[in-house]
Amino acid sequence: MSAGVVIAGGGLSGQRCAEALRQGGYGGAVTIVSNETHPPYDRPPLSKALLAGEKEQAEIAFRSADWYAEQGIELLLGDGAAGLDVERRKLLLESGAELDYEHLVIATGSRARQLPGSEQYENIHSLRTLDDAIRLRGVLRAGKHLVVLGAGLIGQEVAATAIGHGAEVTLIEAEPLPRARALHPELAQWLVDLQREEGVEVKLGARVSELIGDGDRLEALLLDDGSRVQLDQMLVAIGVIPNSEWLPEEVEILTARPDIHGAGDVAGGDHWELAAHQGKAVANAILGQEPAPVPFTGWWSDVHGVRLQGLGQPAANDEIVFEGSPSERNFHAVVSRDGVPVAALAVGQPREIPRLRKLLAEHASTQPAKEAA
């Protein structure tokens, strides 16, 4: 069955690839395969607007069912990729079905990393899918205590959303500061202060040493400093694992073949802008077009009603210059290394991002190679 282009994964990169193929005039079969039962949807709202009840499933879908029909794009939902036969050019599905392909796009994304020993507890949550968000939304209650383990983007956003709805929230991070690889220490501290100002209890440099439960419910965490944190619900947001276990070889090896391509989390596109670009770039390759230039991509977040937008990857000892008012949650900052701008953050100033992106892109070729601390 199928042939043409088969896209394994129903996330952002797969969706953008399908759209770009049709926009570029590709007339062959296009099939999107997903282990989820929902049509492709946008994931950033899961920890914000959808979790808060401000949006519903239909509002975060990338396209309507009619659009897929009009474009001749087949959706195979609830039957994810389970194996790959590269010699026969066949994608094996969980149901046992096989799909022939001329081009295969590996875009199966990633899944939430789980806390060891947590499987038995029904009040421990992760947040990676629409079903995850709906389940978590159903148990958030005013006055109830939510512990968020991990202070990355998802953890920060869920903490803000939950406390905005009256929950008591404790945010626990193992590192001395959150988002150490994406934020300069001064910016990371500003984010911690923001959470605390809004009523979130933030514990930094804290690690879980024991889970204390009763039957199928987790009741408390014992931290490595001996303190005990009582809870009603817990979100584990300690990173992700690429969904690549179904592949016979590493993604990098498979995508060296002219008929196999990779995009999104599973191929290193670990944030929204980059995943979207990779999906379009794969479509260009299939269409035989020149590859699009790689943009200076960034990330964004909405926390306590404030839009945060970041570009680049700073190191701890980089110089930082602020413009605006951090205390009023309206500023931007440029991070420089050896006099060269390498990263930037805008808070409440979205109009600054195009200028900052241009500034960083102009200096990117002169940036000395240095791993962020």
Model confidence over 295-306: pLDDT tens digits?
Answer: 677 899 999 999
Query: What is residue 336's three-state secondary structure?
Result: strand
Query: What is residue 71's three-state secondary structure?
Result: helix
pLDDT at 298: 87
Residue 128 sits in the same domain as residue 177: yes
pLDDT at 371: 30
Using the predicted structure, report yes or no on whether residue 237 has a pLDDT greater than 80. Answer: yes
Please report whether residue 258 resides in a domain: yes
pLDDT at 365: 54
Element (H, E) at 154: helix 153-164
Model confidence over 114-132: pLDDT tens digits?
Answer: 999 899 999 999 999 999 9
Read off φ and ψ for residue 298, nearest 5 degrees. Answer: -145, -170
Select from 216, 239, 262 the last residue of a domain.
Answer: 239
Please report whether residue 72 resides in a domain: yes
CATH number of the domain encompassing residue 148 = 3.50.50.60
Read off φ and ψ for residue 159, nearest 5 degrees. Answer: -60, -45
Strands 145-149 and 233-236: parallel
Select from 212, 239, 266 the last residue of a domain.
Answer: 239
Residue 268 sits in the same domain as residue 316: no
Q: Which of 162-171, 247-256, 361-370 is least confident?
A: 361-370
Please report whether residue 295 resides in a domain: no
Using the predicted structure, report yes or no on whether residue 158 has a pLDDT greater than 70. Answer: yes
Residue 104 sits in the same domain as residue 166: no
Please report whether residue 153 resides in a domain: yes
Residue 85 sits in the same domain as residue 174: no
Read off φ and ψ for residue 137, nearest 5 degrees. Answer: -60, -35
Rounded-to-10 torsion of CA 69, 73, 75, 81: 180
Query: What is residue 25's three-state secondary structure?
Result: coil
Domain hosting residue 50, numbered range: 5-109+243-287
Using the predicted structure, report yes or no on whether residue 370 has a pLDDT greater than 60. Answer: no
Residue 164 sits in the same domain as residue 259: no
Residue 71 sits in the same domain as residue 141: no
pLDDT band at 373 (very low <50, low <70, confident <90, very high): very low
Could you give the angle at the alpha carbon of 271 between the alpha carbons of 269 and 277, nearest 5°? Answer: 55
Strand partners, 241: 111
Model confidence over 47-86: pLDDT tens digits?
Answer: 999 999 999 999 999 999 999 999 999 999 999 999 999 9
Q: Which of 173-187, 243-257, 309-323 is least confident?
A: 173-187
Structure tokens at 162: 């939950």
Residue 218 sits in the same domain as residue 277: no
Instruction: Supply the DSSP symbol for 266.
Output: G
**What is the pLDDT averaged over residues 150-168?**
96
Please report whether residue 265 resides in a domain: yes
- Count how many domains the chain has: 3
Supply the mean pLDDT for the chain.
93
pLDDT at 297: 77
302 vs 3 pLDDT, higher one: 302
**What is the pLDDT averaged over residues 243-263?**
96
292 vs 110 pLDDT, higher one: 110
Please report whether residue 298 resides in a domain: no
Q: Which of 54-68, 169-183, 218-232, 311-325 is least confident?
A: 169-183
Residue 202 sits in the same domain as residue 143: yes
Residue 117 sits in the same domain as residue 233: yes
How far out from the chain centre does Cα 99 lie? Answer: 28
Distance CA 305, CA 142 (A): 19
Please report whether residue 294 resides in a domain: no
8 A C-beta contact, residue 263 and residue 13: yes
Using the predicted structure, report yes or no on whether residue 342 has a pLDDT greater than 70. Answer: yes
Strand partners, 213: 218
Taking CA atoms, 352 is separated from 185, 247, 346, 347, in Å, by 21, 42, 7, 9
pLDDT band at 364 (very low <50, low <70, confident <90, very high): confident
**What is the pLDDT averaged over residues 319-330?**
96
Please report whether residue 372 resides in a domain: no
Residue 169 sits in the same domain as residue 207: yes
Residue 46 Ramachandran class (φ > 0 left, ψ -120 to 50 alpha, else beta): alpha
8 A C-beta contact, residue 2 and residue 29: yes
**What is the pLDDT averaged over residues 343-359?**
95
Distance CA 219, CA 158 (A): 20
Model confidence over 176-191: pLDDT tens digits?
Answer: 999 866 889 999 999 9
CATH number of the domain encompassing residue 311 = 3.30.390.30
Compute how many other C-beta atoms are within 10 angstroms of the C-beta atom of residue 124: 22
Structure tokens at 212: 């204390």
Distance CA 203, CA 196 (A): 10
**What is the pLDDT averaged over residues 252-274?**
91
**What is the pLDDT averaged over residues 162-176?**
96
pLDDT band at 210 (very low <50, low <70, confident <90, very high): very high
8 A C-beta contact, residue 98 and residue 91: yes
**What is the pLDDT averaged over residues 260-283?**
90
